[in-house]
Structure 1
Amino acid sequence: MTALPDARGLVALLVDRGATLATAESLTGGRLAAAVTGVPGASAAYVGGIVAYATRVKQELLGVPDALVATHGVVSAECARAMASGVRTALDATWGISTTGVAGPDRQEGKPVGTVFVGLAGPAGSEAVELSLAGDRADVQDQTVGEAIATLVWKLRREEPGLR
């Protein structure tokens, strides 16, 4: 994932595959959804999103288990995977993608600013990518959106290597 593809490329890949996308966002606060819906024709692939900023919203709307939060915290790969799976199920999408982490200005759960997890859930299961980003709050949020898009584009291209 050298260059960060834009949301236009992600939407094109999803449409080409007849796939849909749902987003679950914490530290990005809706920026990922805004990036995707900023693409003309995004409605052909994007079904919606949940901004789950508070822990209780992650638990109540996305089904993140209490035990997972108690054991791993919300700034974790496990939480990112659960959020992505939860939004995929809740909104009946082919793919769920999530963002959780520390945008700053302070540490959270003992983790430094810039610690971010992107979760992906799709037909074959779920996974998470850990990122270590630099910059101020807005920089971390913007970089997270770009990395989340790049991660799903990479996954889609890898699953069907002959396309785009």
Structure 2
Amino acid sequence: MIDDDALLARAEALLQAYQTAGLRVATAESCTGGLVAALLTAIAGSSKVVERGFVTYSNEAKTELLGVPQETLRAHGAVSEPTALAMAEGALAASRADVAVSITGIAGPDGGTADKPVGLVHFGLARKNGEARHLERRYGPGSRGEIRRRAVEDALGLLEGALA
């Protein structure tokens, strides 16, 4: 993914826009395992915008690093709107960033259920002094790599939209 010219160009434009706006970014990633942060930091000068990234693959990490309430995880599961929102808000609170994006989902090939199939991904976007937003995607069956790539693309889209 880091060698994808189109994604790199998009990430570079995003970083430039955030730098111009004087904003910093944090990521909170589960199913993408840090791919958004890796893409952004593949660009020279990204340290002016990327404040930090959290890879919170386990529920314990979501709670310990991002402050996701255990009750939220018990009631809704890791792959849910409340968890995605709590992850984004927690990343914002645990960093010096102005904007945080979170990703939690089921990349497969296993782990899906009838209610939460492989390809289900929830995103959160939190901005200082702003209301958190949620996005749900159901990418359908596909390879683990395809699902993760599409999630990275949608995370970039949320970060782009936060500038509007």
CA contact (8 A) 1:97 1:118 kept: yes
* Pairwise CA distance, 1:125: 2.2
Match of 2:146 among 126, 131, 139: 139
SS in 2 for 1:71: helix
Q: Matches of residues 83-98 of structure 1 in structure 2 within 5 Å?
A: 83-98=87-102
Does the alignment pair 1:126 with 2:126?
no
Does the alignment pair 1:103 with 2:110?
no
CA contact (8 A) 2:101 2:158 kept: no
Question: What does the per-residue CA deviation read over 1:82-131, in whole Å, with 9 as the maximum and x for residues that have no partner?
Answer: 00111111112101111100000123464101100111000212111001
Q: Percent identity?
A: 39
Question: What does the per-residue CA deviation read over 1:5-53, in whole Å, with 9 as the maximum and x for residues that have no partner?
Answer: 7211211111011000011100000101001101121111101111000
After the TM superposition, which segments of 4 or more aligned residues of structure 1 sit over 3 Å from their partners?
A: 107-110
The two structures, once aligned, show a CA RMSD in angstroms of 1.6
AA paired with 2:147? V
AA paired with 1:153? E
Structure 1 gap segments, 5+ residues each = 158-164
1:38 and 1:8 map into 2 onto residues whose CA distance is 9
1:72 and 1:98 map into 2 onto residues whose CA distance is 16
What TM-score, normalized to structure 2?
0.89
What TM-score, normalized to structure 1?
0.89
Match of 1:65 among 50, 65, 69: 69
1:154 and 1:100 map into 2 onto residues whose CA distance is 19
